Amino acid sequence: MLKKRIIPAIDVTNDQAVKYVQFRNPTVIGDPAELGRNYAEQGADEILYLDTTASLHSQDVKYEWIRRVAEELYIPFSVVGGIRTIDDFKRVLRAGADKVGVNTAAVKKPELLTEAANIFGSQCVVLALDAKPIKDDDGEIIRWEVYTHSAHESSGMDAIEWACRAEELGAGEIVCTSIDRDGMKNGYDIELLRSLTKTVNIPIIASGGAGNMAHILEAFKDGLVDAALVASLLHYGELTVMDIKKYLSQHDVPIRYHSI
């Protein structure tokens, strides 16, 4: 059985690590490289860095902080945000990242996923899927809609249909963030995650909403995800990665322990 992954998520803006709530109101929490090294030492399987402003403001990727992260980390890390072209993929990978994630650029130009997969391999092509529920008059969810530009703009696309197409185009895994739950600590959107994991065959990474260890367990047991992103619980010192892994192991979730 494949081991499940715990992946700390670190938002970066202006070369600083920050924490957002629903993609807004950032609070500075430290240095990206130092935070990443700390989580690696706690036993993280990977680190995911998100530049949540690059797409929104059409900024170029800043490579210096990526190089500093690469110098500090001995585990894989991904960079998401601001990647628009194959050259951007190339530069981020050359700066030291192991995977590259795209959202807005892939929605605008879906063939970018195929081009990147053909050149670099699907294993390093990550689709960042930011979704919001669309409800009927009775408050029932009828579908989830894809948002771009750091969750500020609706694409009008159905999230499940887009995930299926992205897999066909060459994405190697999907990081799915429930926008309404991001930073709220009230649990992942299990219905959304289950819909994805039962539809596509590539790994799904849960993002947005972990408020306690039971939420993370629920993502694995009920959402059937392959990995879980965790941010607030770690950033504010409520838990360590090892706390989470021990809890999951006690509840029969297969996890990997790293020797440091």
pLDDT tens, 76-112?
A: 999 998 899 999 999 999 999 999 999 999 999 999 9
Element (H, E) at 130: strand 125-135
Quote the DSSP letter at residue 122. G
Q: What angle (nearest 5°) sits at the alpha carbon of residue 106, between those of residues 104 and 111?
A: 155
| Range 63-82 average pLDDT | 94
pLDDT confidence tier of residue 60, bands split at 50, 70 and 90:
confident
Active site residue 130: yes
What is the dihedral angle through the alpha carbons of 158, 143, 53, 90, rounded to the nearest 10 degrees?
-40
User: Which of the residues 31, 51, 88, 130 is marked catalytic?
Assistant: 130
**Predicted pLDDT of residue 7:** 98
Q: Counting beta carbons within 10 angstroms of the beta carbon of residue 25, is it exposed (0 to 12), middle (13 to 18) or buried (19 or more)?
A: exposed
pTM of the model: 0.93
For the chain, the average pLDDT equals 91
Going by DSSP bridges, is the β-strand pair 125-135/173-178 parallel, antiparallel, or unpaired? parallel
Going by DSSP bridges, is the β-strand pair 24-30/99-102 parallel, antiparallel, or unpaired? unpaired
Going by DSSP bridges, is the β-strand pair 204-207/227-230 parallel, antiparallel, or unpaired? parallel
Homologous superfamily (CATH) for 5-250: Aldolase class I (3.20.20.70)
Return the domain boundaries, the chain: 5-250
Active site residue 226: no
